[in-house]
Copies of this chain bind each other. A is one copy, B any other.
Amino acid sequence: MLFSTAMKQTLTLAVVVMALLAFVEVRSQERAKTIAERLGYARDAKLLIVHADDLGMTHSVNAATIKAFETGLVNSGSIMAPCPWLSEIAVFARANSQADLGLHLTLTSEWTSFRWGPVSSRDRVSSLLDKDGYFRLTESEAAAQADPKHVEMEITAQIERARALGIQPTHLDSHMGTLYQNKELFEIFLRVARTQKLPVRVARTWFSRADFLPSVLSQDDVYIDRILDIDPTVAPQDWAKFYSDALKKLESGVTEVVIHLAYDDAEMRAATANHPDWGAAWRQRDFEFFTSDAFRKILQENNIKLITYRELGKLGK
């Protein structure tokens, strides 16, 4: 028996609808999986990104971070394109194309003896500049004064400069968190990141303190569970204990520990003069802990697996 044309059309439509429903179901199941599962780990796996910020800032930062990368214990980092030592870290990036290097998009120049300004033409991003032509000192000033068009132009220019130097960024984050200061800036950040098909640093635990985040993020955006970073209230002698304790009680899911590596040398002391928080000695302490056998042992004993933004980035594509 032959089907009438009307029946054929109805059947075709039904098949299409069923296929669509099945696809949505699969996607929905896929989305219901944790990132750990999507990466092939157990649902309760403890996954860690050990992420060094501020690459390109000084030679001291570059040298310490490259040394830490060689241990395999620090496995991710992000680069500041406006900074004077960008070219040095670009040489490393070109020679280590599998290294997990993102861009630390920068709209502040926070040290007083050592400064930097935009990659874009100054007169096209005037709202981002202080009276001396550098980026502003603080993230709150930068966010309050920034013209959104200037922000989009400048962060795009930073990505373009990095790519021109042979850096293929695996992710994006924001120096001093300027791009998370308000919804408008975060929307620009996310729009640029989606255009570039790159994951951004966002943690689910941030949703409570930046309540605009969930409304801007979509289910296609990949974001991690939490950020671990040390606080200026931790005394220098308690540095290793702080990190050890935090790692021993690490929850399952994806955690990014954000660290700042450099040597406590003349360059770094001068760059961070009069500012012990995130200063030269702070960065030397981070370097020492995250390149130590003690840290390696904690990872092993607590079954913590290191992952990178390169793997996370593939989930969002």
Interface residues of A (CB under 8 A from B): 58-60, 62-63, 83-88, 91, 112-116, 119-124, 131-133, 161, 164-165, 263, 265-267, 270-271
User: Chain B CB within 10 Å — which of A62, A112, A123, A267 has the most?
Assistant: A267
Q: Are A119 and B91 in contact (CB under 8 A)?
A: no
Contact among B59, B120, B270 for A266, CB-based, below 8 A: B59
Do residues B113 and A133 form an inter-chain contact, with CB atoms below 8 A?
Answer: no
Given A123-B123, A266-B263, A267-B59, A114 contacting B85 (CB threshold 8 A): yes
Q: Which of A60, A120, A123, A270 has the most CB of B within 10 A?
A: A270
CB closest residue in chain B, given A89: B113
Q: How many copies of this chain does one complex carry?
A: 2
Q: Please, which residues of chain B bring their CB within 8 A of the CB of A266?
A: 59-60, 63, 263, 265, 267
Smallest CB gap from A58: residue in B: B267
A112 cross-chain contacts in B, Cβ below 8 A = 87
Q: List 20 A-B contacts (CB under 8 A).
A: A58-B267, A59-B267, A60-B266, A63-B266, A84-B84, A84-B114, A84-B115, A84-B116, A85-B113, A85-B270, A86-B115, A87-B114, A88-B113, A119-B133, A120-B122, A121-B122, A122-B122, A132-B161, A263-B266, A265-B267
Least Cβ–Cβ distance between A306 and chain B, in angstroms: 28
Taking CB atoms, residues of chain B closer than 8 Å to A132 are 87, 161, 164-165
Bound-state CA distance A148–B116 (Å) is 26
A87 pairs with B59, CB closer than 8 A: no
Nearest chain B CB to A64 CB, angstrom units: 10
> Which chain B residue has the least Cβ–Cβ distance from A90?
B113
C-alpha spacing A114/B90, complex, angstroms = 11
Question: Is the CB–CB distance between B60 and A87 below 8 Å?
Answer: no
Q: A123-B121, A161-B133, A265-B266 are in contact. Are A87 and B115 (CB under 8 A)?
A: yes
- Of the listed residues A83, A164, A265, A266, the one surrounded by the most CB atoms of chain B closer than 10 A to its CB is A266
Q: Which residues of chain B come closer than 8 Å to A62, judged between CB atoms?
A: 270
List residues of chain B with CB within 8 A of the CB of A86.
115
State how many angstroms separate the Cβ of A213 from the closest Cβ of chain B. Answer: 33
Question: Measured between alpha carbons, how far is A85 from B86 in the docked complex, in Å?
Answer: 15
User: With the chains together, A120 CA to B117 CA distance in Å?
Assistant: 11
Name A131's closest neighbour in chain B (CB-CB).
B164
| Chain B residues, Cβ within 8 Å of A87 | 112-115, 132
Bound CA span A24–B92, Å: 66
Q: Which 5 A-B pairs have the closest CB atoms?
A: A88-B113, A267-B267, A121-B123, A59-B270, A121-B121
Q: Which residues of B contact A85 (CB under 8 A)?
A: 113-114, 270
* Chain B residues closer than 8 Å to A113, beta-carbon distance: 59, 85, 87-88, 91
A124 proximity list for chain B (CB < 8 A): 121, 123
CB distance from A59 to the nearest CB of B (A): 4
With a cutoff of 8 Å between Cβ atoms, the chain B residues found around residue A165 in the complex are 132
Give the docked Cα–Cα distance between A165 and B88 (Å): 28
